[in-house]
């Protein structure tokens, strides 16, 4: 995909959603961090149902530690990997409490040291809360980037590197959200809704579904 096409795609995304944001519910950076940890292999809807309960009971790392791993597991057991997520969240809260005075650090290296926090989670927190121009590559971003031709690659890190290099700077802050929302609602995994796609004429996907017969 050439530079002009790519730029025009993000112009369309910006026109469609001038101020995109995550669909995870949170009121502070700690809640965002916990919500993103919970969102691995889970939908934002399912995470929001859990955090609506969890964040009433626990608003700080110390609150979560007092809650304890077993009670935390009971609250989050409706989503996948809940046992390991509970364990990682407790350990992360212990580190935040003991080393960072209950504060979430605005630092990629320190974030990635936290249990359950990988590069994608760190990028989400740095972008969504702190306003960094980071691009978190989840399954939606990876699929949309490859399918459209915006940035192709077989590995997440390759796609992230290309997106960071190829997306114009003025679109980087919101690119992560635009690509996620596009993948969630239009460029779906099994049956992309190409007939409803605002960037269809620019997209380089060869097997476009241009009719309404098989939307999912």
Residues designated as active site? 120, 138
Cα separation, 182 vs 180, in Å, equals 5
Residue appearing with tokens 């910006």: 14
DSSP assigned state of 155: S
To the nearest 10 degrees (0 to 180), the angle between helices 82-99 and 29-38 is: 150
Token pair belonging to 186:
């239009």
* DSSP assignment of 86-124: HHHHHHHHHHHHHHSTTPPPS-HHHHHTSTT--HHHHHH
Residue whose C-alpha is closest to residue 6's, from 140, 144, 184, 157: 144
């Amino acid at each position: 995909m050439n530079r002009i096409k790519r730029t025009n795609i993000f112009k369309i995304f910006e026109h469609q959603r001038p101020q995109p944001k995550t669909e995870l519910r949170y009121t502070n950076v700690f809640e965002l961090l916990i919500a993103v940890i919970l969102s691995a292999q889970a939908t934002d809807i399912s995470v929001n149902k859990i955090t609506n309960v969890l964040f009433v009971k626990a608003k700080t790392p110390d609150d979560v530690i007092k809650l304890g791993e077993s009670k935390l597991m009971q609250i989050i057991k409706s989503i996948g990997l809940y046992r390991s997520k509970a364990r990682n969240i407790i350990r992360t809260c212990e580190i935040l409490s003991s080393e960072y005075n209950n504060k979430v650090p605005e630092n990629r290296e320190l974030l990635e040291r936290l249990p359950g926090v990988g590069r994608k989670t760190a990028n989400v927190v740095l972008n969504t809360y702190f306003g960094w121009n980071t691009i978190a590559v989840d399954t939606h971003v990876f699929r949309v980037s490859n399918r459209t031709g915006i940035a192709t690659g077989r590995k997440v890190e390759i796609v992230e590197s290309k997106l960071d290099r190829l997306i114009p700077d003025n679109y980087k802050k919101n690119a992560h959200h635009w690509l996620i929302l596009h993948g969630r609602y239009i460029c779906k995994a099994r049956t992309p809704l190409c007939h409803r796609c605002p960037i269809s004429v620019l997209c380089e996907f060869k097997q476009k579904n241009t009719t309404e017969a098989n939307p999912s």
